[in-house]
Structure 1
Amino acid sequence: MRIALENGKYKRHIKTIWMLFVLAVFGSFLFIWAVGVNFLGLFGELPSLQALENPRSELASEIYSADGKLMGKLYLVNRIPVEYEEISPYVINALIATEDVRFEKHAGVDLKGLGRVFFKTILLGKRESGGGSTLTQQLAKNLFETRAKESLGPLARVPGLRMLIIKAKEWITAVRLERNYTKREIITMYLNEVAFGHNAFGIEAAAHTFFNKPASELNAIEAATLVGLLQAPSRYSPVSHPEACRERRNVVLGQMYKYGFLDKDTYSQAIATPVKIDYHPEDPNEGIAPYFRAEVREFMKKWEKGRGLPENNFYTAGYKIYTTIDSRVQAYAEQAMVAHMKERQKRFNQVWSKLDPWYEVPGYLEAAARQSERYRTLKQQYGDDEKAIFAEMRKPIPMTVFSWEGEKDTIMSPMDSIRYYKRFLHAGLVCIEAQTGKIRAWVGGINFKHFRYDHVKQGRRQPGSTFKPVVYATAIDMGYTPCYEMVDKAVTFGDWSPQNSYGGFTGRSYTLRQALGRSINTIAAQLIMEIGVQNVVKFARQLGITSPLDPVGSLALGSSAVTLYELCQAYSVFLNQGKRIDNIYISRITDRNGKVIEEFIPDAREVMSEEKAYMMLHMLKASLEPGGTSVGLHRYGITQNNEIAAKTGTTQNHADGWFIGVTKDYVAGVWVGGDDMYIRFPSILDGQGAVLALPIWGNFTKAIYEDKSIPYKPGYFPRPAQISVELDCNKLQEGVSDKIKIEIIDDEAL
């Protein structure tokens, strides 16, 4: 009787357990279903089918040169996507062995792994038993932010339910991912998505950051190091915690050995090897043409705004931005600038060894200090108490400063650092392929990290005599010719009496060509007054100069500030047979999948006739002839069997040195000067454009001609077939009118 009762009691327990089990299973399926359909909006939305088919991670936009070089990236997170075949097998094996050894066997959720976690970790409390999340679940979490507040519904606020809902969402999303993608695609997405620390997202960025190589070349030890970082990138960083990194790496190597991915000898050697990295973090200050890339960033802001896209979307959109920059031409431009500016800075320091260039300007440094970030920060602390602010700014502190010998760690006060930096000369260079309008080189300054101001397009400075060709071109367009004569004499227009750089007047007659070549100020002044200042302003606009121009006589001598970019645009019209082709520096933009979003074709319009444009080139060639201001170009060995049209420029008090040179292939312009008009050489011997700027252009062009891989070669400007005006003024007969008309000759009649 007693045995029967006990058997009946036992059966009831079994029945109860089975009922509970069935209810648990049914409840679990019901719960999963409710989460999957977001029943009554209580659980939060799951990723849509479209989102699963087109998962979007934050990808850096990449900038490429015209010859296919990666110039740099625009990003919030540094991520470079790669294909499965571009990942070292050691990485794949290390990841599977460490994170999900049953990856090839489960369908997104590893029930066996979950069971192990439940019994060993939860029931037995063994923390080393590992987690139950598969790689697919981790990918779901990373791609779709399943744990973000925006993804959770009201029930997530119930204690104990939040994590259960999150896990259910990850399980469901993981299963759906497995249905949409192959195992290879899933592991590739995972490795492209995960963070490795030090702003390296994805395996390719991590490989470059920590080992300075692509992910395809990683060996077993390097692969184990990177996979080891995934558990805790900061804690196991090989940069800051090499010993902890080594221990974690060896755990990964142990897993690889355990599951047969490494043989015993390889494993033994690997775990005994110290951590060795080749640390190359992504630095936006480095790379090809950093000033130009900053301009591309500003372009992208405007471009996306015009398309109605969110602000700064390009940082994460994964665009590929193909530019017109030629990396070889860019390199020669930078090399020419650096070599010359080192020498000029040395000379500048010698000249001003005992005085500051601004010694005659009271309170100059203090005024400069008030524009500094340090001053603004101290002002928040001390208010209007300038005595306290400047007391702080005179206290020495450690800092790293720029020098032409490399960065230097030093101790100086903020005031001394302002004095130190103010004494630097700066430079800008831009090279335009006139026939296409494509920018081939862009050097905005001497060092992007320490001096961000761009002297190609951002900085406006008085152009001095480099503006004179605009005046002469206006006259040529109005019917004047290179042989029209004017006298170098003292003249006065109202309260303005222009002076020549050599301090006197010859009293001689010069043709317009001679006057431009020798850069005679009095003749340029007479010419602008004769043809009308407003006509010059109007024609300057047609040439592409957009900066404000003061309509006064001194405009002929470059009194109104312009940019190097727009001045070179104007000269390009002369080379391009009178057509103005608007400069472009981006050729096309594609999306992250390589689909072309937009291609850029420059607008072209006729500004002056082909014959008159050629006349301007002919006139500018006089600058290289005896008496011309650009004769120094001959010493660079680039003028033989080669036509060059050029103009130098020097502003008042030698504050700016300019040189614009034109070959048959391109227009390139150079500016050199200080932060402002007070940072200058005291003598025109050192401060003129022929000394400050011309050598950069000469060395730049010489390097291009010596590189046989670049298509720019010495040669001659194409002469229009139908021009009959006599360009050699010495051959003109006496008594000919001082304004010679252009006659069009019918080639067939010759």
Structure 2
Amino acid sequence: EDSDFYKHKGISLRGIVRAQWENFKNIILQLKKEAKPHGGSTITQQLAINTFLTREISLNRKLKDILLALQIERSFTKDEILEMYLNEIYFGHGAYGVQSAAQMYFSKNVQDLNLAECALLAGIPRGPSYYSPILNQEVSLKRRNIILNRMFKLGYISKEDMEKAKQSPIELDYSNKRDKLTAPYFSTFILSQLLEEYGANVIYKGGLKIYTTLDLEMQYFAEKALQESGHEGAIIAIEPQTGYIKAMVGGKDFGESKFNRATQAYRQPGSAFKPFIYLTALDNGFTPSNIIEDSPVTFENGWSPENYEKEFSGPVTLREAFEHSINVVGVKLLEQVGIKKVINYSHKAGIKSELRPDLSLALGTSEISPLEIASAYATIANLGVRVDPLSIIRIEDYSGKIIKDNIPQKKKAFKEETCYVLINMMEEVIKRGTGWNAKIGRPAAGKTGTTDDFVDAWFIGFTPELVTA
């Protein structure tokens, strides 16, 4: 991105002005509320930061990197600076330097890379986790093509070379000893958070001690359960009183797929969404003994919801409808309670994804992640007290000083008595309803969920001590 590298003396006034203008638009005018501050740093300044400084955002740090950049420019040639930068920069997954990255992603020496592979690597340092071709191949591909466009615009490659490289698929020959981790999906999940907050230098070279919420025994049994199921999927377990993530399995084989289905897979939950409709109803005057007719209905838009068995049961109580996951009753209840109100209750419980504001919401047609729905069920299990999920308890620096201490943040979301009634209904789902296979010999509550043709199959269950999706 530092296209004037061979022209400037270590700092780029144009780059600083451009960065401050972007900061003004994004932060002051709030055109992009979640955008991070831009610094306008040159390659020389980034070398100074990576080698001598921290990622602290402050005027004092900025002045230091400017002074160091000017000194570096006086002491080394441009080619030497670029070589040092390429040997120092972080490319994700523990790889520092372009040679390490070439070996890790392609099992090649850097001089043997083709144009498409070079452009792919060039795009990673801006956001090593986000642009990782291992974790986000589609995003990485788009970033690679932006780099190729930029190289053509600056005259480094011909249009023919650009088009040819853009047509090349991403072909990785990935090899990384760091992947042989305990709980690899959980480890990479917290690593991406840490890199975002502290930067690669501090994380890999700072001697930090990171205390996590993971329970290794639970993790072992979660991994074993998914392996023995014979299916691809995810498991996540949360302690409702603290929000601590006790186990996380993002797939059957981390070596084959780094995609974390526990946090990154947004799928339709089917009937596993229904507790939030019933929660809203119970909190607004309905009782488990209220009766709704399970009978054919066609709405104004022509939609006629169906039950799984393609049959109707006539008048049923809400308790019976919930136990047996009767779709038509769920849709009718949603209509009576109000779609907006149910969406509001769902978000209060802990679901963060956007939910479709229509009656198909009762059938769980809005995609959410296992982490989200486990967190929202945890609010119910915790009798209406919401605690956001936590994966890191505290972080200490090399001297033992605590630099981060995560204390669970609790917020009252729903009335205790409402949650108690809903939990009782969810216990019946396991005792004699659709979740009877989940009987564990002790009181437990939960809900099943499937989508058409069993493309997705869910079960979210809990005891007072643990929620698992």
Change (3 A) 1:483 1:285: same
Tell me if 1:605 matches 2:405. no
Write out per-residue CA displacement over residues 426-450 of structure 1, whole angstroms, 9 at most, x where no aligned residue: 2100000101111100001111121
Which residue of structure 2 lines up, in the alignment, with residue 413 of structure 1?
A: none
Give the alignment partner of residue 293 of structure 1, picking from 187, 190, 212: 187
Given the alignment of the two structures, is residue 631 of structure 1 paired with residue 431 of structure 2, yes or no? no
* Among 224, 228, 245, the residue aligned to 1:335: 224
**1:501 aligns to 2:308 (yes or no):** yes
From 324, 328, 334, the counterpart of 2:213: 324
Mapped partners of 1:329, 1:610: distance in 2 = 28
CA contact (8 A) 1:428 1:444 kept: yes
Q: Distance in 1 between matches of 2:455 and 2:176?
A: 37
Residue 571 (structure 1) aligned to one of 365, 370, 377: 377
| Aligned Cα root-mean-square deviation (Å) | 2.5
Cα separation, 1, equivalents of 2:258 and 2:410: 32
1:26-65 aligned at under 5 Å gives the runs none
Asked whether 1:619 is paired with 2:425, we answer yes
Residues 345-384 of structure 1 show CA distances to partners (whole Å, capped at 9, x for unaligned) of: xxxxxxxxxxxxxxxxxxxxxxxxxxxxxxxxxxxxxxxx
Letter in 2 for 1:466: A
Residue 434 (1) aligns with residue 323 (2): no
Are residues 592 and 619 of structure 1, via their aligned partners in 2, closer, same or farther at CA, if it must alter by over 3 Å?
same
Question: What residue in structure 2 maps to residue 662 of structure 1?
Answer: 462
Distance in 2 between residues matched to 1:462 and 1:597, nearest whole Å: 39
Indicate the residue corresponding to 2:178 in structure 1: 284
- Structure 1 segment 197-276 matched on structure 2, within 5 A: none
Aligned partner letter, 2:342: V
Who is 1:456 aligned against?
262
Q: Secondary structure at the match of 1:601?
A: coil
The superposition leaves residues 696-743 of structure 1 with CA deviations (integer Å, 9 ceiling, x where unpaired) of: xxxxxxxxxxxxxxxxxxxxxxxxxxxxxxxxxxxxxxxxxxxxxxxx
Distance (Å, rounded) in 1 between the aligned partners of 2:296 and 2:284: 25
The one-letter code of the counterpart of 1:578 is G
Q: Deviations over 1:651-702 (max 9, x none)?
A: 1222100000111211000xxxxxxxxxxxxxxxxxxxxxxxxxxxxxxxxx
CA pair 493-312 structure 1, distance change in 2 beyond 3 A: farther
In the alignment, is the contact (CA less than 8 A) between 1:289 and 1:442 conserved in 2?
Answer: yes
TM-score (norm 1): 0.39
SS of residue in 1 equivalent to 2:312: coil
SS at match of 1:625: helix
Shift of 1:151: 8.2
Aligned partner (choices 183, 196, 200) of residue 302 of structure 1: 196
Q: Secondary structure, in 3 states, of the residue corresponding to 2:177? A: coil
Q: What TM-score results when the alignment is normalised by the length of structure 2?
A: 0.62
Residues in 2 aligned to 1:152 and 1:486: alpha-carbon distance in whole angstroms:
77
Deviation at 1:57, TM superposition (A): 10
The runs of 4+ residues in structure 1 deviating greater than 6 Å are 150-154
**Matched residue pairs, number?**
307
Tell me the secondary structure at the aligned position of residue 203 of structure 2.
helix
Q: How does 1:470-489 map to 2 (within 5 A)?
A: 470-489=276-295
Contact residue 294 and residue 313 of structure 2 kept, 8 A: yes
Q: Corresponding residue for 1:315?
A: 204
CA drift at 1:457: 1.1
Q: 2:449 corresponds to which letter in structure 1?
A: G
> Unaligned 5+ residue runs, structure 1?
1-55, 59-149, 158-198, 200-280, 305-309, 345-425, 670-750
Residues 83-121 of structure 1: CA distance to partner in whole angstroms, max 9, x if unpaired? xxxxxxxxxxxxxxxxxxxxxxxxxxxxxxxxxxxxxxx
Measured in 1, the distance between the counterparts of 2:291 and 2:335 equals: 15
Larger Rg: 1
Distance in 2 between residues matched to 1:652 and 1:152, nearest whole Å: 63
Cα pair 1:325 1:441 within 8 Å, conserved: yes
1:334: Cα distance to partner?
0.4
Where do 1:620-699 residues align within 5 Å? 620-626=426-432, 628-634=433-439, 638-639=440-441, 642-669=442-469
d(CA) in 2 for partners of 1:331, 1:463: 25
CA distance in 1, matches of 2:336, 2:282: 13
- 1:462 is displaced (CA, Å) by 0.4
Aligned to 2:172: none
Q: Displacement of 1:299 after TM fit?
A: 0.9
How far did residue 153 of structure 1 move? Answer: 7.9
1:555 is matched with which residue: 361, 369, 375? 361
Work out the CA distance in 1 between the residues paired with 2:368 and 2:303. Answer: 22
Change (3 A) 1:487 1:449: same
Aligned to 2:335: 529
Q: Return the alpha-carbon distance in structure 2 between the equivalents of residues 533 and 592 of structure 1.
A: 52
The code of the aligned residue for 1:431 comes to A
